[in-house]
Amino acid sequence: MNREAPQPRSQKMLARRVEFLQSVMSPQRRLRIADVGANPINTPDYDGLLKLGGCEVWGFEPEQSAFDALTQDPVPNTHYLQRAIGRTGQGTFYPHPQSGLGSLYPIRQESVSFLGKPGWHKGDVDGIEIALTALDDLSDEELPKPDVLKIDIQGGELDVFQSGRQKMSQAVSVIPEVRFYRMYEGEPLWGPVDVELHDQGYVLHKLVFAKSTVVQNSQRKRMKNAVFRNQLIDGDAVYIRNPETIDDWSDEQIKQLAMASACVFGSFDLTVFCLDALVDREVVDPQAPGQFLDKLPPWMFAEN
């Protein structure tokens, strides 16, 4: 008799949250996630939800090896397109032997040398001409309007946002990689990205993590990374649709943000905020916010 492998405790707890939210909210559909730059070198935060059948993913990845890895063993509820997303037209892609460092911008030698990563600069790398497609030029068959946009394309994020306003118009969350210290020639840093997202009605919710490094110096070999890692490079941020405008949202948008916050980026206070709003609209039972908290581990609660 075949038995399924036991689920890790975290996955079991996630399953409890998913089952509860689906039962009390009855969303019209699975959470829609667009993943621009879906290179599978890292496990995405939505992986657990995807395995539970709680979301549907449209992934975009132009690099052949990464695209092959994504499509080699297809996962249910995933749709992958070998497309480069940006401003519609021709662009130049600068490949890199280290997966995930290829970009529409060439690596800046002075920057990576200061960051202690001189090997990231590979000299005169010949760019490859590629066709770029704006989010707003994708049909609804290629990409329905997403609830969540996750993006990590090494500096090209701003162009995607600026040429994707219509496609992003119903999204409740954007999860971009943001750059604090320039690594590529001419890439936009966090500031312009933050302004653009604010102009589209999003606010910064949190940083999932921030990556830092030890700067290059004469005593570098004596320095432990964990102690001297001070220079910020980049990180993953979570933006949410401005919660002060929640009265203008549809019930479905509130439900999808509740699902995303509980099952993708782990902001359980925001989940309760969404459930409170649904209680006020008489969409869910008044007991739902407290019942959701009961699904969380005891160590999260304040002592009475």
Q: Residue 302: inside a domain, yes or no?
A: no
What is the predicted pLDDT for the residue at 212? Answer: 95
* pLDDT for 133 beyond 50: yes
Instruction: Please give the residue range of the domain that contains residue 236.
Output: 9-296
Q: Residue 52: inside a domain, yes or no?
A: yes
Radius of gyration of the chain (CA): 21
What is the predicted pLDDT for the residue at 302? Answer: 87
Q: Residue 301: inside a domain, yes or no?
A: no
* pLDDT for 2 beyond 70: no
Q: Residue 246: inside a domain, yes or no?
A: yes
How far, in Å, CA of 31 to CA of 46, rounded? 10
Q: Residue 3: inside a domain, yes or no?
A: no
Asked if residue 115 lies in contact with residue 216, where contact means CB atoms within 8 angstroms, the answer is: yes
Number of domains in the chain: 1
What is the predicted pLDDT for the residue at 1? Answer: 33
Q: Residue 173: inside a domain, yes or no?
A: yes
Q: How confident is the model at residue 3 (pLDDT cuts 50, 70, 90)?
A: very low
Mean pLDDT in residue range 70-83: 94
What is the predicted pLDDT for the residue at 182? Answer: 94
pTM of the predicted structure, to 2 decimals: 0.93
How many Cβ atoms from other residues are within 10 Å of residue 150's Cβ?
25
What is the predicted pLDDT for the residue at 101? Answer: 86
Asked if residue 263 lies in contact with residue 178, where contact means CB atoms within 8 angstroms, the answer is: no
Taking only the tens place, the pLDDT of each residue in 6-25 is 456 789 999 999 999 999 99
Residue of 164, 172, 175 whose CA lies nearest to 251: 172
Average pLDDT, the chain: 93
Rounded (10°) CA dihedral 100, 103, 108, 112: -10
Residue of 147, 135, 141 whose CA lies nearest to 32: 147
Q: Residue 2: inside a domain, yes or no?
A: no
Taking only the tens place, the pLDDT of each residue in 164-190 is 999 999 999 999 999 999 999 999 999
Q: Residue 304: inside a domain, yes or no?
A: no
Taking only the tens place, the pLDDT of each residue in 194-232 is 999 999 999 999 999 999 999 999 999 999 999 999 999
Taking only the tens place, the pLDDT of each residue in 257-288 is 999 999 999 999 999 999 999 999 999 999 99
